[in-house]
Structure 1
Amino acid sequence: MTNSELARTAVPGGIVDPVESARAELKAALAAIEIKGNVPRRLDNASKRAAVRLRLLADRNPAGAVALGVAAAAVVGSAVWVIARALSR
């Protein structure tokens, strides 16, 4: 959760009026639900973070990045082979 998302979901202190306090709590709760429930945005953010981490790995350890790519291709290829074999029976 970023700082801006945390700020949207935090209830400001010092509110004396119970109606204003309830409104602030409702606003914060709705913002938290929107952040947690917005799966496409969360997936987009996660994929961007993963891309940055992979770029850092490739810069720091090119051989490790190549090995990771080969391993990922092997896993995907194996999964496709298993599914195709199961469907052909």
Structure 2
Amino acid sequence: MSSDAPVPMPRTAVPLGIADPVEKARAELKATLAAIEVKANVPRRLSVKIDDSVEKARAFQRRSPALAAAAVVAGAAVVGAVVWGLVRAYTR
């Protein structure tokens, strides 16, 4: 049983079957500009990575809350030690 719904095409793809060279060049330029926008949009890429990391952390916390709490305590201890070391190095 196949679906009649069209498969969405990514913005960075050039459609097949364009016979007119001008239209093909326009489609290629549009796809190239979209690819550059996707690649160069660092804040959006960073936002997606952060959202993925938060979701992974939440899933880990749901699976094993004790280990998640231990990881938070260990992380806080590491940050505290780094700050203490930097302040101590700066004041000497």
Same fold (TM over 0.5): yes
Q: Whose radius of gyration is greater, 1 or 2?
A: 2
1:16-50 C-alpha deviation (Å, 9 max, x unpaired): 11111111111111111111111111111111111
**What does residue 55 of structure 2 align with?**
52
TM-score under structure 2 normalisation? 0.79
- Cα deviation for residue 82 of structure 1 reads 2.5
SS at 2:54 equivalent: helix
CA RMSD of aligned residues (A): 1.8
Secondary structure (helix, strand or coil) at the match of 2:11 reads helix
Residue among 65, 69, 73 paired with 1:66: 69
Moved over 3 A (4+): none
Q: Distance in 2 between matches of 1:61 and 1:81?
A: 30
1:62, distance to aligned residue in structure 2 (A) = 0.7
Richer in helix (by share): 1
Equivalent pairs: percent with the same residue? 56
Of residues 17, 38, 42, the one that matches 1:35 is 38
What is the number of residues matched between the two proteins?
85
Structure 2: give runs of 5+ residues left out of the alignment: 1-7
